[in-house]
Amino acid sequence: MLNAYISGVGAYVPPRVVTNQALADEYGIDTTDEWIIQRTGIRERRFADAGVYTSDVAVPACEAAIENAGLRKQDIDLIIFATLSPDFHFPGSGVYLQKKLGLTEGENARFVPCLDIRNQCSGFVYGLGTAASMVRSGQHKHVLLVGAEIHSHAIDLTTRGRTVSTLFGDGAGAVVVSATDEDRGVRGWDLGADGRFANNLCLKIWDMSQKPYFRVNERDEGEIPVDMLWPYMEGKVVFRHAVQRMVETLMQSCMKHDLTKDDIDLFFFHQANLRINEYIANMIGLPPEKVPSNIERYGNTTAATIPLLLEEAVRTGKLERGMKIALVAFGSGFTWGSAIVDW
């Protein structure tokens, strides 16, 4: 039976560093470094320049993952793109990434299928399950999975929006999921969703119930109410459900594979809020050295957080072949998921 393993990892973050103090000094947000750190653990994040698309930050992450896997771009059979900040309303960002990777040009052009996943913070774990299924089926040998986000262009960088805007940053992380006959790889996953809370964390700018979905004024310009323009979040509700669902899905994955927490070498939690992850780790009894974190430097990059963390762990030698790891995520929808991987 074919197994699916992560053969390569890659990451990219924009060069511009925006500290907590810069949010106050440059953007005029009524906040402090101490206030943000105390509530989120975030010290800085990366912001992309104007004119940069989400598919643009995905390109270097994908190229690095393909190179790390020892492959050529033409070896990729399928692109899966997880994001909540697509380049446009449609088409999906996967096709833009395909073109920017050069897969549609030259004698060796490959018009590989492209799949976009819109599960927000859970997008990478949902994508990993999809990629592994494609590989296990024998349909594809190498699947490129990327989580990428440009949040800074679509958050309210004023005091009015500080409870959301202080959390997010831009970046991309990618992996290649490949076929192997060896006894290793993505062992399984657990996914879930609860649509009762869909409006507790949302951005309603594309409200298709409205006709037209943008109001047009007498100057033939579209008008968008402020409450629909920016992301909305009920923080306490999100915190409570994130803790509950991340613990539940992790326990489900462990039980499916007859594992205890001691069998797992590293836990890669979605980097939404350091306080959420610390709370979960304390509940379960995980030592800090088993729970890597980089939210302090990047903020919440949504679909990119887990692959960014994986790439960093590989690059620094913390994650080595033969380790057993758990991936856990929670996001808007509400959606959640976990996976067990023999690295």
Q: Which of 141, 259, 237, 135 is nearest to 190 (CA)?
A: 259
Coil, strand or helix at 118: coil
Q: Which of 146, 152, 80, 193 is nearest to 310 (CA)?
A: 146
What is the 8-class DSSP label of residue 48? P
16-23's contacts with Cβ under 8 Å and 24+ in sequence apart are 16/46, 16/47, 16/48, 16/49, 17/44, 17/45, 17/46, 18/44, 18/45, 18/46, 18/47, 18/152, 18/169, 19/43, 19/44, 20/44, 20/166, 23/157, 23/162, 23/165, 23/166
Quick one: tokens of 252? 């489900």
Active site residues: 121, 270, 300
Cα 88 from chain centroid? 18
Asked if 78 and 113 touch (Cβ cutoff 8 Å), the reply is yes
Residue 133 corresponds to which amino acid?
S
Q: Which of 41, 59, 49 is nearest to 17 (CA)?
A: 49
